[in-house]
Amino acid sequence: MTDLKFQNINWQAATNRREHHTDKYDSRDLILRRGQLFYFSLTFNRHFRREDSLKFITFTGPSPSESARTKAVFPLSSGPSSDGWNAQLVHQRDSTLTISISSPANAPIGWYTLSMQISPQSTNATLKLGVFILLFNPWLQADGVFMSNQAEREEYVMEDSGAVFVGSANRINMVGWNFGQFEGDILNTCLSILDNSLNFRRDPATDVARRGDPKYIGRVLSAMVNSNDDNGVLAGNWSGNYVGGRDPRNWNGSVEILKEWKKSGFRPVRYGQCWVFAGTLNTVLRCLGIPSRVVTNFNSAHDTDRNLSVDVYYDPMGNPLDKGSDSVWNFHVWNEAWFVRNDLGSSYSGWQVLDSTPQERSQGVFQCGPASVSGIREGDVHLDFDMPFVFAEVNADRITWIYDANRNSSKQNSSDSHTIGRYISTKAVGSYSRMDVTEKYKYPEGSKQERQVFDKALGKLKPNSSFGPTSATEAGREEREPIISGTFKVTGILTVGKEVNLALMLKNLTRDTKTVTVNMTAWTIVYNGTLVHEVWKDSITMSLDPEEEIQYPVKITYAQYEKYLKADNMIRTTAVCQTPDEAELVVERDVILDNPTLTLEVLDQAQVRRPVNVQMLFSNPLDEPVKNCVLMVEGSGLLLGSLKIDVPTLRPKERSRVRFEILPTRSGTKQLLADFSCNKFPAIKAMLSIDVAE
């Protein structure tokens, strides 16, 4: 009898990829999801007989072993097995067998090799059949990342473009972001992120064995998307000076960043800020099959000493001070990933915070999460991972201090438990509207439960402190009724290139005449509160009649702020108001200036594989020329890679019209993203939805 000899294999790639929801990946590789059957057919030199038997070997990683579950050896059988890898004969026609293989629902993800042994055979050789990629499976109930709602799965796994909310609590803006998780080579790059991690370098066998656990993968990725510690993807920079890299506001998405990282031999890409880290981590999570979304927290606390309060300093002249290590960011962006928490219990499953912005070390490395959102809401700060830090980001009390340099002394001015953690936002499922998720993180501000949770968290972090009316923040100063109140009101339009017009509204709350000395400053800032430059100051002393309200005008000219305004377009105005024998009143407001409008228009009906003309319109609003103009365009499914177009210098008030061509590769609604930069406007954004016909 002739030996059974293998002739060829048909991976049935198109069918398998469709069934496994991986047909969108722009790749020739066989991409599968764990816990789900895949089919292939083997052709031999003769008919397959009862005495013939096949054994399959599959493995992943550099030192596979059955004990670590990175290798499996399993026979071709006729019935299903409950656990582990399993191969079944589906049907036989002549000398061709159709076989199904299923993997465990908790198998490590990554590259696998599949081999086969035929017996009885004189050589008993092992034949390599090929390689495939195994991903998480949110469609499968047995997988820890299972998401039951189809619309949510579509958004949080399959959607390859999205939006990030930025700005400030009183002026929320939205910018588009190209996740592009299905673009060519992005999946390979995402897998190589895991192979560049510290854990893999220290102990590859253990690292690969743990890759079945979304908690583990999420934590490793939160470390690897920043370049601190580990040659990760992005180098952060909040200085306002981005020489030697790209201004973080200029990125349109993650694809260019991940491609550049791989092309450079895994050298960190310069530069990122929080939404760039979060957009990139979101791409990697969705690419590997973990449902994820980008979340923005407005007035986000960065509490460095785990005391659930952030200290903010001013001098008597109204200057904000860069003193102490705590800070409040106008906004901060992180990710939520969806999976079970078997380590904590089912009530902690669901959305988990992962944050790849390098803020604080955790277990010696700049990584953060997974922190259970429901655990944060209940103040369970003793649980894994990094719960105290995330809890403080949304709940810390903000303490204002006046620092006198002459005496080298600080005195506490006020304490506010309401301003931190506002309008926590994410893109809605299936639309570009803002969905507010604040109530998932905390009970309503000012409610009894909210303070109870805060006290519970503080009790776990500082078990010896006492609560109630004599707690640390209240001790040593009785709350006195305020004498005056104040706010900054916007009185004109806030646009780059125009004068900024505000008014300081001061009200005497008493029935006596009061003399008030007011010291005011305005500084340009980066969104995380980094001070760039003072651009305006003023001091006045005035008399307020009983219960009188006055309006003092604040005018900051373009000439004053032009040189120092960063791409954030943010100016921080502060007034320190002093009445004799009373505590100072600190009034603060951050204003965000609008950029001129950038318009994108599609000139033809968009169709797959047909060139489409798009035009950009931009008018220079200034009385001076704008030069060094560059338009960067990208959009997954609309063009391969990105387009960079040099735009000629624009004379004062001149209107520019630039036409360019895109070539859609996929049908459906796609997002085109543009970034226009020049010497006067570092980053103007536009986004356009384009419906592409088949």
Q: How many CB atoms neighbour CB 79 within 10 A?
A: 6
Separation in Å, CA 475 to CA 114, 326, 471? 68, 21, 6
Cβ pair 20, 31 in contact under 8 A: yes
Q: Which tokens sit at 267?
A: 């050298």
Strands, E assignment, 491-592: 500-508, 514-525, 531-544, 549-556, 570-578, 585-592
Is the separation of the CB atoms in 295 and 425 below 8 Å? yes
CA atoms within 13 A on the CB side of 482: 15
Instruction: Tell me, yes or no, if 20 is annotated catalytic.
Output: no
> Is 527:330 a contact under the CB 8 Å cutoff?
yes
Q: Which residues of 188-207 are buried (b: 16+ CB within 10 A; e: fewer)?
A: ebbbebbbebbbbeeebeeb
Q: How far is CA 171 from the centre of its chain?
A: 20
- Of the candidates 143, 311, 355, 675, the residue annotated as catalytic is 355
Q: Is the peptide bond before 664 cis (omega within 30 degrees of 0)?
A: no
Structure-token pair, residue 511: 């029935």
Q: Is 503:554 a contact under the CB 8 Å cutoff?
A: yes
**Exactly one of 332, 397, 577, 678 is catalytic; which is it?**
332
Tokens of 68: 């670590």
Is 629 a residue of the active site? no
**Catalytic residue check, 190:** no
Q: Which residues pair with 311 in a beta bridge?
A: 399
Q: Which residues are 408's β-sheet partners? A: none
Burial of 274 by CB count in 10 Å (0-12 exposed, 13-18 middle, 19+ buried)? buried
Residues contacting residue 189 through CB under 8 Å, at least 6 positions apart: 258, 259, 261, 262
Report residue 295: phi and psi, to 5°.
-125, 135
| Beta-carbon-side half-sphere exposure of residue 431 (alpha carbons within 13 Å) | 4
CB of 622 closer than 8 Å to CB of 680: yes
3-state class of 174 per DSSP? Answer: strand
Question: Are residues 556 and 500 in contact, defined by beta-carbon separation less than 8 angstroms?
Answer: yes
Distance (Å, whole) CA 353 – CA 292: 10
Longest CA–CA separation in the chain, Å: 114
Identify the active-site residue in 190, 274, 287, 577.
274
Residues in the chain: 694
Look up residue 661 and give its two tokens: 């061509």
Annotated catalytic residues are 274, 332, 355
